[in-house]
Amino acid sequence: MLAPVAQWLEHRPYKAGVDGSNPSRRTMTKPKKIIVQPESANSRLDVFLSTELKISRSQVQKMIAHDQILVNGKLPKKTGGQIKTGNVITCHPEQSEGSLATTTDRDSSPPWADQNDNLKIVAETKDYIVVDKPTGLLSHPTEADEPNAVSKILLKKYPGLKKIGDDPKRPGIVHRLDKDASGLMVVARTQKMFEHLKEQFKNRTVEKEYTILVHYPVARDWEEINFPLARSKTTDRMAAIPQTKKGLAQEEGKQAKTEFWVEKRFVNFTLLKVKIHTGRMHQIRAHFLAYNHPVVGDPLYFQKKNKSKWDARLGRLFLHCTKLGFMDLDGTKQTFESPLPKELADFLKLLK
């Protein structure tokens, strides 16, 4: 694709802060202006910007959610809207006090800056690799072919992965973690192990346990959330579908089941242990938003009327896969655990 016309402009505040803050208190960086060329006409806005800014679609969607993208001077109605030749797209990599933007006062780099690829190898066998993925790292590249992804990092260390799996763009990848989440993942090193793991995920026998922090006190010590999930018709997010008066789920959407236990209660937050019995996209995040307890630090699934300065203070999604269990090719159960990352453990110390 031909390089678009782009230039850096002097930044001027264009609206009040999305959290009601004074725009003059923003940490400003220069916006980027992109003029859409004929070669890119009719592309999706998020896919186009993902390529131009060299970031993931989810990162673009965060920017759109936080009013950091303008198309012809207006906020886009949805992340997947079609762009036209001559459209002027302005990207504002700005940080407002109390917002859920991806930068902090101490790190004012724009959100398309290079992501950390600090990937920890937890276990390595001839059949599989278990890794501890940091937040900000994709499980595998999107259409934008980002360089920083678990699959690409592992491929450099284990070239044999190239022939493993169903998709050459996702070598060895059987399951994924959201870019904003962190924690344990297993990657197959042989096709036999790939098929073995794939079958376990299909039969829902893989044990996955997460630790999350949600807003507000959760009343029950244990609960199951069973809202079906479907892709929203107005955004590219997942939406939970309410149940009918008869207790039967609406026809639209896929079955999703999330189980949780309360680990600790704070004044305005609750720490939970979570198990998912289905593997839907953004399941935990969408379910807890629908449950009226959004995950702390979530840049996509949050309550617009109740944004919290604590989200910005944390600076990441409080969702970590702490436990992963599966059967190896010998029929032996393999279980791995990961402690909370330091930034999450330190954040809990700030709460009362």
Q: What are 126-153's pLDDT values in tens digits?
A: 999 999 999 989 888 877 777 788 999 9
Could you state, in order of their start, the residue ranges of all structural domains in the chain? 5-91, 114-203, 204-352
CATH for the stretch 204-352: 3.30.2350.10
Task: Report the pLDDT value the prediction gives residue 227, as an integer from 0 to 100.
Answer: 87
Task: Report the pLDDT value the prediction gives residue 309, as an integer from 0 to 100.
Answer: 84
Task: Report the pLDDT value the prediction gives residue 225, as an integer from 0 to 100.
Answer: 93
DSSP string for 225-264: E---EEE-SSSSSEEEPPBPTTSPBPSSSB---EEEEEEE
pTM beyond 0.75:
no
What are the residue numbers of the active site?
A: 178
The answer to whether the 5-91 and 204-352 domains have the same CATH topology is no
What architecture (CATH level 2) is domain 5-91? Roll (3.10)
Tell me the torsion sign for CA atoms 152, 155, 156, 157: positive
Task: Report the pLDDT value the prediction gives residue 8, as an integer from 0 to 100.
Answer: 25
Residue corresponding to tokens 């609406």: 250
Q: Does 3.30.2350.10 match the CATH number of domain 114-203?
A: yes
> pLDDT tens-digit profile of 299-311?
888 887 776 788 8
User: Is 164 or 56 the better-scoring residue by pLDDT?
Assistant: 164
